[in-house]
Structure 1
Amino acid sequence: MSRTPRALAAVTLAVTAALAVSAAPAGATARFTPGAPGAGDPYFPDMGNGGYDVAHYDIGLKYDPDTKGIRAVTKIKARATQNLSRFNLDFLGPLTISSLKVDGQRASYERTGAQELVITPPKGLRKHRHFTVTVAYSGVPQTVNDATLGTSGWVPTPDGAVMVNQPFGAATVFPVNDHPTDKATYTFTLSAPQGLTTLSNGDLRGTWTRNGWTTTRWVMRHPMASELSMLAIGKYDVLTGRTADGTPNLTATDHAMAIKPDDAEKFHRQTAEVTDFQSALYGRYPFTSTGGIVVNGGFRYALETQGRPVYDLGSRLGRIPSEALLAHELGHQWFGDSVSPERWADIWLNEGFATYSEWLYAEESAGTPVQESFDAVYATPASDGLWNGVVSDPGRDHIFDGLVYDRGAMAVHVLRTIIGDGAFYRLLKAWPAEYRYGNASTEDFVRFAAELSGKNLDEWADAWLYSEGKPAL
């Protein structure tokens, strides 16, 4: 459920144009048409759907360690944005549906294409109507292994499983409108045999054990893109507390990573310190708790899952995330999580600012000037592949390449030199405040920065965002 009117308008316009939906004359029978089977993102045309806006996901999931599978019920609260004859959810992989209801009544459905769950309710859903979809299902969720984008979705671990969803993966575990422009709040109720820990985004609202099963309930009450949802099941050591500024802090480390108690406490403390440092730079921390989880998933990357990043350090037993990695993933809480991209081509707004967050923290903690970090990357020869591609439109298979991260951070720093430190530090707070819990595009950012600074930024944007090659300084 996107906050910004322009984000909702863009999605609604795309859906309306695709379906050519017209209002029925007064007194005439309403015309009901199918919702679009995609959100209109050219990088991932199958992701997301049109015709409705999700408000909340309530996911109840029971984990079976013998099969590494699940039994689950997902309840979705949504609002129709057109007169719907039918609508789609994204649901990927071999999970078997045992029941599907719309507003408590059985609805017909079919699974088509790569990930489409096509639902036809007993009767049409009028525009603006609120409705509920309840899906019961079971099986072993799919692990997505994409040749260029890596591993996502449901990832089995030696003692449980981890769910990581960027850019897609959520649909392997629960039916979802899987695009960043349809943010929603979440409740996860997770059950596993006693002795296993269950973790997710948000705040822990309850823990209970019955008949050998332990259940936890987690609530994310701020809008979240589906690709930022997470869960972890296994044997974890959990630490809780608050940052110096009072933000609740929960960190956890997988037993299999053999992290010493002192290092686990260091990870917890540094997470708090970075959170508070960035809150001073970027404005109020956007969520109700911070933290992080070190997992043993084998996918070898860290992910800015909302409010509680996931860190997979590969085979580096006994290691905790570096301060630079903490600064990167926690910086995403403002840039990427609270303010999410309008489309996947805009991902530099996530990764460029997160990488710049590393540079800012290196200056604070190690005395390394930001200019020095910039110079080290800018020294990369013009013939290097780093300078191939366009930052604002890297292409579907390059959204995690260096041009998005390093050239994105360099673009941020050059912008700083153009508008000056005073305007730049105002921008670091004003931008995430203006689009908090919503979505924004590259064009939105360029316009916003120009208006805030009073500078013409066309030349900067053309050279650093919209053109290929190494720009001259």
Structure 2
Amino acid sequence: MKTRISISLLCLLFLVTFPAFSQNWDWGGPIDPIQAKMKILHYRLDLEIFPETQRISGSNTITFSTAEKLDLLRFQLINQYEVSKVLMDGKEVRFTHENDLIDITPIDCTCDQVQIFYGGKTPIAQNPPWTGGFTWEKDQLENHWMGLSSQGEGAKIFMPALDHPSSEPSEGVDLHFTVPQPYFVASNGRLIETEESSEKVTYHWRTTYPINNYNINFTLGIFHEVKHDFTSVSGQSIPMHAWVLQENKAKARELLEVLRISTETQEKYFGPFPFPQDKISVVETPYLGMEHQTINAYGNNFQFVPMGKVKYDWLLHHELGHEWFGNKVSVGDWADMWIHEGLTAYGDWLFYWEHGGPDAYFAKAKAEARHLPHAKPVVSPPNSTEEEAYHGEIYSKGAMVIHSLRGVLGDELFFPALKAFVMDDRFTYLNQVTTRDFTDFIQSYTGKDLQGFFDLYLYTTDIPTLKISKKGKSGYALSLEGITFELLVEVLTSEGLNKINLGPKPVTITSNTPPQVDPNGWLMLGK
């Protein structure tokens, strides 16, 4: 059996091993005051992709709304591309393109749309997906194979956009890709139309759901497709697709089955698949993987492992989980990025619970807890950039916080509360969330005062220290030092397993054997 590295350790490994871009294409932070006056309604991206020269050329038509007439429109696009012209109401308008910003002087009209024409050599990913860009490779048949990753950089590395995590096109995107025959482009949403000529083919994809900029994605190659209709817990029938390279078509059906099982597992705990009008899908990519709304990148080489009666692929399951946390429930400030990664990582643990049983689940949780460095708070300062907020503990410790929350609340409160949060219209699609939204909701839903718990584990690097003192023949005084509140903790004594509120004030218990405090490892405790 091959050793599998946990996703949190894998992320940390790559973060410290590989260099960053020579040019800083980070995103997030405070939103530009000019851009804060604008709401993006829709993107229509028209791109021709040239695999032989690794170039793209086309336009992005941006539909927007404003509360006032603006003297300046501002969008992001890296200077590696050349902007040839900008149109409003069919007329060319003045613009500048400097420092990865396009500043446009709008004409005197009530126009709510601008079309930006651009093209050039694509930026090459240095270490996808952590340091993103375009990945150009060839498959074993010498066909071109291209993948795009941009979580750390945003959409500006492939299209002009209002490139801030708080900005999502409320009416979705239309994506038109023209490529040489016989190449295929897999992208977001549903395939609306295919137009072919003798030398080229154009694919039109569309999603009407809001979508974060880095989730807009496209992958080029010559693929083998397998598909079937997935019946959601909502009762809806949703197309499910897997696209793999021709050389891997023998693996395609098994990949689709692994995807089906993972989707069923995610739905059990987090509710119906969030984008039923689009599709559930994965596409094989020349890098490890990344969540992209309804077209998750998959490059884990079909490393399926047994888990109970089914097979499990940690990469596929994790990226699929982002359809709920990251795509449906999304944050507008990278300070709260742990909501994307920590809750999704906890969904990975739930696959162990569902298919491997409690022993597999607790072994997974304890293994993750052993490697936590508690080096950075899970929640970053407000207005953080992606680079500032992204570190391994938003995965591992973020998941551990949710695991600990389960231990404190008990399953009868925890699971309904978590699903209710994901299903609440106040926190989904266009209604982006903060950490405070999550913690307030959990406390309101459960009726429990958990503010001390959340403040400790999310905003600090501290953990309480367990102290056990012998008192007489069969007495033990238990306390948690370093906190000012109490936590509900499991304690195993000679009389069995009980839950006791522990805090800084010692609690005396009786046991004929030394007590085991938190034997299942629900909490992060220093000992």
TM (norm. structure 2) is 0.74
Paired position in structure 2 for 1:306: 293
Give per-residue Cα distances to partners, 1:345-404, cap 9 Å, x unaligned.
111101111111111012222234433322222233xxx6x2101001187546442211
Q: Take 2:212 and 2:257, find their aligned partners in 1: how far apart are those partners?
A: 27
Q: How far does residue 135 in structure 1 lie from its aligned partner after superposition?
A: 1.3
Equivalent in 18, 39, 43 of residue 53 of structure 1: 39
Equivalent in 357, 370, 374 of residue 365 of structure 2: 374
Q: Which amino acid aligns with 1:188?
A: L
Q: Which amino acid aligns with 2:423?
A: A
Q: CA RMSD in A?
A: 2.6
| Alignment pair present for 1:251 and 2:242 | yes
Contact kept in structure 2, 1:154 and 1:161, CA below 8 Å: yes
Q: Which amino acid aligns with 1:116?
A: L
SS at match of 2:159: coil
Paired position in structure 2 for 1:141: 122
Q: Take 1:122 and 1:85, find their aligned partners in 2: how far apart are those partners?
A: 9
Q: Take 1:427 and 1:332, find their aligned partners in 2: how far apart are those partners?
A: 19
Paired position in structure 1 for 2:488: none
Contact kept in structure 2, 1:251 and 1:268, CA below 8 Å: yes
Paired position in structure 1 for 2:136: 156
Q: Which structure has the larger Rg over C-alpha atoms?
A: 2
Gaps of 5+ in 1: 1-38
Q: Take 1:414 and 1:274, find their aligned partners in 2: how far apart are those partners?
A: 23
| Alignment pair present for 1:283 and 2:271 | yes
| Alignment pair present for 1:464 and 2:454 | no
Q: Residues 373 and 252 from structure 1, CA distance in 2 versus in 1: closer, same or farther, beyond 3 angstroms? A: same
- Pick which of 419-428 and 390-399 moved more: 390-399
Q: Take 1:411 and 1:287, find their aligned partners in 2: how far apart are those partners?
A: 27
Contact kept in structure 1, 2:27 and 2:164, CA below 8 Å: no
Q: Residues 332 and 137 from structure 1, CA distance in 2 versus in 1: closer, same or farther, beyond 3 angstroms? A: same
| Alignment pair present for 1:239 and 2:226 | yes
| Alignment pair present for 1:75 and 2:61 | yes
Q: Residues 320 and 221 from structure 1, CA distance in 2 versus in 1: closer, same or farther, beyond 3 angstroms? A: farther
Q: Residues 461 and 291 from structure 1, CA distance in 2 versus in 1: closer, same or farther, beyond 3 angstroms? A: same
Paired position in structure 2 for 1:109: 95
TM (norm. structure 1) is 0.82
Q: Take 1:447 and 1:422, find their aligned partners in 2: how far apart are those partners?
A: 19
Paired position in structure 2 for 1:94: 80
Paired position in structure 2 for 1:358: 348
Contact kept in structure 2, 1:86 and 1:124, CA below 8 Å: no
Equivalent in 320, 332, 336 of residue 346 of structure 1: 336
Q: Take 1:225 and 1:160, find their aligned partners in 2: how far apart are those partners?
A: 24
Q: Take 1:296 and 1:215, find their aligned partners in 2: how far apart are those partners?
A: 22
Q: Take 1:254 and 1:179, find their aligned partners in 2: how far apart are those partners?
A: 33
Contact kept in structure 2, 1:193 and 1:213, CA below 8 Å: yes
Contact kept in structure 2, 1:183 and 1:226, CA below 8 Å: yes
Contact kept in structure 2, 1:324 and 1:361, CA below 8 Å: no
Q: Which amino acid aligns with 2:93?
A: A
Q: Which amino acid aligns with 2:414?
A: F
Q: Which amino acid aligns with 1:79?
A: S
Contact kept in structure 1, 2:34 and 2:72, CA below 8 Å: no
Q: Take 2:338 and 2:38, find their aligned partners in 1: how far apart are those partners?
A: 28
Q: Take 2:332 and 2:161, find their aligned partners in 1: how far apart are those partners?
A: 18
| Alignment pair present for 1:85 and 2:71 | yes
| Alignment pair present for 1:452 and 2:445 | yes
Residues 191-202 of structure 1 aligned to structure 2 (within 5 Å): 191-202=178-189
Q: Residues 82 and 141 from structure 1, CA distance in 2 versus in 1: closer, same or farther, beyond 3 angstroms? A: farther
SS at match of 2:292: coil
Paired position in structure 1 for 2:473: none
Equivalent in 74, 95, 118 of residue 103 of structure 2: 118
Paired position in structure 1 for 2:152: 167
Q: Residues 111 and 144 from structure 1, CA distance in 2 versus in 1: closer, same or farther, beyond 3 angstroms? A: farther
Q: Residues 361 and 320 from structure 1, CA distance in 2 versus in 1: closer, same or farther, beyond 3 angstroms? A: closer
Contact kept in structure 2, 1:205 and 1:219, CA below 8 Å: yes
Q: How far does residue 163 in structure 1 lie from its aligned partner after superposition?
A: 1.8
Contact kept in structure 1, 2:43 and 2:63, CA below 8 Å: yes
Paired position in structure 2 for 1:426: 416
Q: Which amino acid aligns with 1:138?
A: G
Contact kept in structure 2, 1:294 and 1:320, CA below 8 Å: no
SS at match of 2:248: coil
The number of residues matched between the two structures is: 416
Q: Residues 92 and 250 from structure 1, CA distance in 2 versus in 1: closer, same or farther, beyond 3 angstroms? A: same
Contact kept in structure 2, 1:243 and 1:276, CA below 8 Å: no
SS at match of 1:166: coil
Q: Take 1:78 and 1:251, find their aligned partners in 2: how far apart are those partners?
A: 34
SS at match of 2:459: coil
Equivalent in 202, 211, 224 of residue 211 of structure 2: 224
Q: How far does residue 192 in structure 1 lie from its aligned partner after superposition?
A: 0.9
Give per-residue Cα distances to partners, 1:27-58, cap 9 Å, x unaligned.
xxxxxxxxxxxx9943x767993221111111
Q: Take 2:380 and 2:154, find their aligned partners in 1: how far apart are those partners?
A: 22
Paired position in structure 2 for 1:30: none
Contact kept in structure 2, 1:41 and 1:343, CA below 8 Å: yes
Gaps of 5+ in 2: 1-25, 139-143, 306-311, 466-522
Q: Residues 41 and 231 from structure 1, CA distance in 2 versus in 1: closer, same or farther, beyond 3 angstroms? A: closer
Paired position in structure 2 for 1:402: 392
Q: How far does residue 260 in structure 1 lie from its aligned partner after superposition?
A: 4.5
Q: How far does residue 151 in structure 1 lie from its aligned partner after superposition?
A: 2.3
Q: Residues 362 and 295 from structure 1, CA distance in 2 versus in 1: closer, same or farther, beyond 3 angstroms? A: same
Paired position in structure 1 for 2:113: 132
Query: What is the percent sequence identity of the aligned residues?
Result: 25
SS at match of 1:143: coil
| Alignment pair present for 1:391 and 2:378 | yes
Contact kept in structure 2, 1:48 and 1:90, CA below 8 Å: no
Q: How far does residue 160 in structure 1 lie from its aligned partner after superposition?
A: 3.7
Q: Which amino acid aligns with 1:418?
A: V
